Amino acid sequence: MKNENQSLEEEEDWGMKTWKNLEKVREISPLIQCITNYVSMDLMANTLLASGASPAMLHCLQEIPDFTPHADALCLNVGTLSPDWLPSMKSAAELVNELGKPWVFDPVAVSASEFRLKTCIELVGLKPAVIRGNASEILALANASRDTHSSKGADSSHGSMDAIEAAKSLAKASGAVIAVSGAVDIITDGQRLVGVHNGVAMMQRITATGCAVTALIAAFVAVDPLHAFEATVSALSIFGVAGELGMDMAKGPASLRMHLIDSLHGLDQATILSQVNISCMSRAS
């Protein structure tokens, strides 16, 4: 009975933690530099703005030394990767590391090509605070020495539960918090394991929702870098709740996109406390 009560208390605490993290984002309005793909820039920027953060979609190598020190966190996304952008990504990641600021990595379609896989491995070596991907991406990244052509682009052919062991392994090897997006989002730091049950299936029909939530994670980690695990859980749940609220008004993917952003902007404490659905799973072994 004691363990059950402790579990209930932990789950109740998540709602308040999530609300307080959103309050911090709104109060501080962290500047998030995003070096990301062409498809996702608009939705990522609008997601950050709706949450209260400030986006900067800046990827020019020559601007990194002047601009990046002003950013509170960095988000790197390899969705439309090209050799021209790689120096900017590496330079920005190295600089925020030197400055003691966090960065978050989205290894989009990591196994689509040898160049992409090699790039992602190099970027993981630059110590991101958080790595977020779908199950296929996390499996491929954790098993990088295996088949490099197993994923279906940016889409996932696996469920998030299929990647739990890979996520644990990757967390321990990289030192990063690993978030696996899916019907249930899985988050682990190699020790703790949490499931986020918020969101709706229709969100998968909107391009760049995964990219957008990665940017949101960066904003949450920016305001509480010492608790990247909790910040990641909070961001995923917030985004999912906004999707649920948006779906109540949407007629399809296009209107859901609009209502999701509006709902994220309008979230209040009562809604978050009543709708956040986060479960503490068994501890990683």
Q: Which residues contact 268 (CB under 8 A, 6 or more apart)?
A: none
Q: Mean pLDDT throughout 24-32?
A: 98
In a domain, 9, yes or no: no
pTM of the model: 0.91
Tell me if 92 sits within 8 A of 33, measured CB to CB. yes
Domain containing residue 149: CATH number: 3.40.1190.20
Pairing verdict, β 103-106 and 73-77: parallel
- Does residue 89 lie within any of the structural domains? yes
**pLDDT in the model for residue 162:** 79
In a domain, residue 2? The reply is no
For residue 285, tell me if it sits in a domain. no
User: Could you list the residue range(s) of the whole structural domain that residue 239 is in?
Assistant: 18-280
Indicate whether 79 belongs to any domain: yes
What tens digit of pLDDT does each residue of 118-137 get?
A: 999 999 999 999 999 999 99
Inform me whether the pLDDT recorded for 1 exceeds 80. no
Domain for residue 38, yes or no? yes
Give the model confidence (pLDDT) of 89-116 as tens digits: 999 999 999 999 999 999 999 999 999 9
For residue 179, pLDDT beyond 90: yes
Residue 4 lies in a domain: no
Residue 155 predicted with pLDDT over 80: no
As beta bridge partners, residue 31 has 54
Instruction: Quote the number of domains for the chain.
Output: 1
Q: How confident is the model at residue 163 (pLDDT cuts 50, 70, 90)?
A: confident
Cα distance between residue 26 and residue 71, in whole Å: 16
CA distances from 30 to 24, 74, 278 (A): 9, 11, 25
Is 11 domain-assigned?
no
